Amino acid sequence: MDCLFCKIVKKDIPAKIVFENDKVLAFEDLTPQAPVHILVIPKKHIATSLDISREDNSLIGELYQAANAIAKEKGVAEKGFRLVMNCNREAGQTVFHIHLHLLAGRAMNWPPG
C-alpha cells in the first residue's frame, strides 16, 4: 500500500521520532504550525476517523495516552496543548493514515480556520 505514514512506521522514510511503542509512533511534523507540532499515529493503517472500528477502540486510547505523555515530556501539559484529527479533505486531511496533531507552545485561536 502506498501510504506515507506506513513508510515512516517501517522506517523506509526518515522522521524525527519522539515516541514509539508496539502500537503507536509519534514524530515531528515536517511543516510545524506551532513550536511543538508532533503527529501521533497508530502503526496500524487506518485511513480516516470514519474507518475506526470498534476493535480499534483501545488503540485510539493508546494514541491519547501517547499524546499526553509527549505533552508532559515536552513541558507543555500544564500550559496547554491541542489535539486535532482532521477527517477528509474539507477538514484539511492530506495524509490518509489517521494522526493526532499535537500542537503547543503558542496561544491557539478558536475557532480554528
Residues acting as catalytic residues: 99
Nearest CA to 47 among 100, 101, 97? 97
Looking at this protein, which amino acid is placed at residue 40? Answer: V
CA separation for the pair 48, 63 (Å, rounded): 14
Give the nearest distance from C-beta 47 to ligand AMP in angstroms. 11
Question: Which of 20, 92, 106, 108: binder of ligand AMP (CB under 6 A)?
Answer: 92
- Asked whether the beta carbons of 5 and 14 are under 8 A apart, the reply is no
When the beta carbons of 1 and 54 are compared against ligand AMP, the nearer one is: 1
User: Does 45 sit near Zn ion (CB under 5 A)?
Assistant: yes
Which of ligand AMP, Zn ion, none has residue 77 at its interface (CB below 5 to 8 Å by kind)?
A: none
User: Does 47 sit near ligand AMP (CB under 6 A)?
Assistant: no
Which CA distances in Å does 67 have to 2, 12, 28?
Answer: 26, 23, 12
Q: Which stretches of the chain bind Zn ion, using CB under 5 A?
A: 3, 5-6, 45, 97
